[in-house]
Amino acid sequence: MVLVYSDEKNLLLELIHLGKDLAKDEHKKVTAVIIGPDHHSKDYIMHGADVVVVVDCAIHPFKAEEYTDILAEVIKENKSEIVLIGSNKNGKELAPRLAAFFDTGCITDGTKVYMKDKKLTVERIVYSGNAVSVEQFTSKPEIVTIPSKVVDPLPKDENHKGDIIKKTIPVKPSPSKIVSVHQMKSESVNVEAAEIIVSCGRGLKNKQDIHLISELADVLKGRTVGCSRPIAADLKWLSEDHWIGLSGHKVKPKLYIAAGISGQIQHIAGMRDSGVVVAINKDPDALIFKSADYGIVGDLYEILPKLTTAIKAKME
Amino acid sequence: MNIVVCAKQVVDVSEIKIDPQTQKPIITGIAKKISDIDKNALEEGIRIKEKHGGKITVISVGSADVKERIKELLAMGADEGVLVVPPDNADYAMISHILAGVIKKIGSYDIVLCGEASIDMFSGQMGPRIAGFLGIPQITYAQKVSAEKDHVVSERNLGDKIVTMESLYPVLITVTKEINVPRLPSLMQILGSASKPLLIWPMDGVVSGQLIHKISTIDVKGVPMQRKNIVYKDDIDKSVEKLVNDLAKEGVLR
Ligand SMILES: Cc1cc2nc3c(=O)[nH]c(=O)nc-3n(C[C@H](O)[C@H](O)[C@H](O)COP(=O)(O)OP(=O)(O)OC[C@H]3O[C@@H](n4cnc5c(N)ncnc54)[C@H](O)[C@@H]3O)c2cc1C
Ligand SMILES: Nc1ncnc2c1ncn2[C@@H]1O[C@H](COP(=O)(O)O)[C@@H](O)[C@H]1O
């Protein structure tokens, strides 16, 4: 049995597809789990789920301790052998706790998941993008977290049949509580799908100067602005959907321009699959030049306006 | 307040090269350090101790040379260090059993602090695993921790939202890199750290029974990156002109 869970609908749709692929050879069923009120169970079935278990527990905001107990109960009952969990931050704190519960293996952020010699095999990025580790389980259940966009959801099939099972599971309340939830401003940028990205780092002196980056992005087809972790996480000049790197988004545009970014390995981890990489940095020894195809040493405040004008002229 | 900080020794990932023959990452001989975010975890522990008093124990599972690294953490402000040397090729399940065993043996603890992830493996597993074994609540990705006498309030940064949590003690918290700036020890502190207890605990007494692998790593493939590394250093106008021509030739200006 394959069990899939995420608190994000799209991610769960993707996991159902992945679960189907893994279940295929052995004709296993894919069970999707919803914790909380049933919103999308029919969608999950039309996108391939064989069973949807809806654990309806009044209003239940996510807490890893409680969700671990709930999922553990479903996994036991379902006799799940493979458990796929969406790798957002909630999923990433849930999966290892679940693994502790079952005293089993867990692999986070699997970028490739497949059967090899009938064994579940997972590849994950290690050493900040320098290597890929290929791992297998020697215990069950096999728990893996999967980031978004590893696969697309299956196309919708109105005729696909599946069971919806409602359940109530008593949970021991955790000694922690949620005091408040503050939604952050998001610009809904999709850097992962961008063809061209112009990215900025701490070489920028003020938030207002981001226009230098976006103007260059605007003349290039692609129009997407990215940034390093400090710009999103420390300074909060851009929302986290712009954040590229090991702990941010992984991108592979045709062209990646990094302005005022030092090129630390954790940033490179997010953009190393880019096509052409351009670096602009005033420090001739900046690491970013080692990870770039082309670079200009100099002040981005001088270079960016000139580059924008020159590219605009060239493209006309 | 009794504070436990989990700190891991890692290789400096920025030094890793890929062996051109075998296409594997070369790990041996590379400089080692304490995983960056674990220093943020310790710094947060020191600040909590400054407010409430108490004791900070730094614990690590790793090879014998981690002793040297723990000394740096004692200099920063930890009171005591405990190191356990694990069996070869220990996996997450095994190491988390050992860490949880050490914490249980320490006995009284209010806050366990970890990094959000270690910078070599970046898996973020250890904190939640330990919290699970200890049966205590966890607050991950904390960008802010306010420890009060009988409870803690902490902000989880989930990227698209901030969730503020409150928990009783004991609690396990994993911190982000942004939570603080770790202090550098003074020369006095470095000298003083030599007299602080640094214990190596044997495995028996920490875990009962045999530890079993749950994961086997069947391969580690290097991911080399080849770049042209053409850098223009002279006149800005000329550099810009050359770059635009290069980009046109690369076909990315369409
Ligand atoms: C576990 C972990 C995860 C991380 N994850 C990420 C991640 O996902 N993404 C990420 O980006 N980072 C990540 N980091 C942080 C990373 O290590 C670096 O600290 C960060 O990328 C540096 O950001 P920066 O290049 O913007 O700033 P800095 O390192 O401060 O670099 C600024 C650069 O701008 C240049 N500069 C300054 N002024 C000018 C000017 N006028 N013109 C031109 N150039 C100028 C400087 O020479 C310098 O090279 C992570 C770190 C850790 C420990
Ligand atoms: N071997 C270890 N010894 C002590 N603490 C560890 C060890 N491995 C991981 N940790 C802690 O767990 C955190 C997350 O690590 P990881 O699960 O490897 O991403 C680290 O930041 C440390 O606080």
Query: With 0-12 CB in 10 A as exposed, 13-18 as middle and 19+ as buried, what is A54?
Result: buried
The residues, ordered by sequence, that sit 6+ positions from B38 with a Cβ below 8 Å of its Cβ are: B5, B6, B7, B8, B114, B115, B118
For ligand 1, say whether the CB of A300 is within 6 Å of any of its atoms: yes
Q: Give the Cα separation of A266 and A243 in Å (integer).
A: 11
The interface residues of chain A toward chain B in range 217-256, judged by CB-CB distance below 8 A, are: 220-221, 229, 233-234, 240-241, 243, 246-247, 254-255
State residue A201's pLDDT score.
98
- Kindly tell me if the per-residue pLDDT of A183 is higher than 60: yes
State residue A188's pLDDT score.
80
Q: At what angle do helices B36-52 and B66-76 cross, to 10 degrees?
A: 40
For residue range B162-208, list pLDDT tens digits in order: 999 999 999 999 999 999 999 999 999 999 999 999 999 999 999 98
State residue B27's pLDDT score.
94
- Kindly tell me if the per-residue pLDDT of A59 is higher than 70: no
- Kindly tell me if the per-residue pLDDT of A187 is higher than 90: no
Question: pTM here?
Answer: 0.95
Pairwise CB contact (< 8 Å): A254 & B168: no
Q: How far is the CA of A113 from the centre of ligand 1 (A)?
A: 32
The interface residues of chain B toward chain A in range 169-228, judged by CB-CB distance below 8 A, are: 171, 174, 176-178, 212-223, 225, 227-228
State residue A184's pLDDT score.
85
State residue A58's pLDDT score.
62
State residue B160's pLDDT score.
86
For residue range A246-296, list pLDDT tens digits in order: 999 999 999 999 999 999 999 999 999 999 999 999 999 999 999 999 999
- Kindly tell me if the per-residue pLDDT of A10 is higher than 60: yes
What is the ipTM metric for this complex?
0.95
Find the distance separating the first CA and the last CA of chain A, reported in whole Å: 57
Respond yes or no on whether the N-terminal peptide bond of residue B170 is cis (omega within 30° of 0).
yes
Pairwise CB contact (< 8 Å): A234 & B132: no
Domains and CATH numbers, chain A: 2-168 (3.40.50.620), 191-315 (3.40.50.1220)
Q: What token pair was written down for A299? A: 């002040």
- Kindly tell me if the per-residue pLDDT of A57 is higher than 90: no
Which mean pLDDT values do the consecutive 10-residue runs of chain B (254 residues) have?
98 94 94 97 98 98 97 98 96 98 97 97 98 98 98 95 97 97 96 96 93 96 94 95 96 89
CB atoms within 10 A of CB B70: 26
Instruction: Give bridge partners of residue B6 from the DSSP assignment.
Output: B59
State residue B218's pLDDT score.
97
State residue A56's pLDDT score.
81
The mean per-residue pLDDT over the stretch A197-215 comes to: 97
Sign of CA dihedral B58, B64, B68, B71: positive
Q: What token pair was written down for B248? A: 């046109």
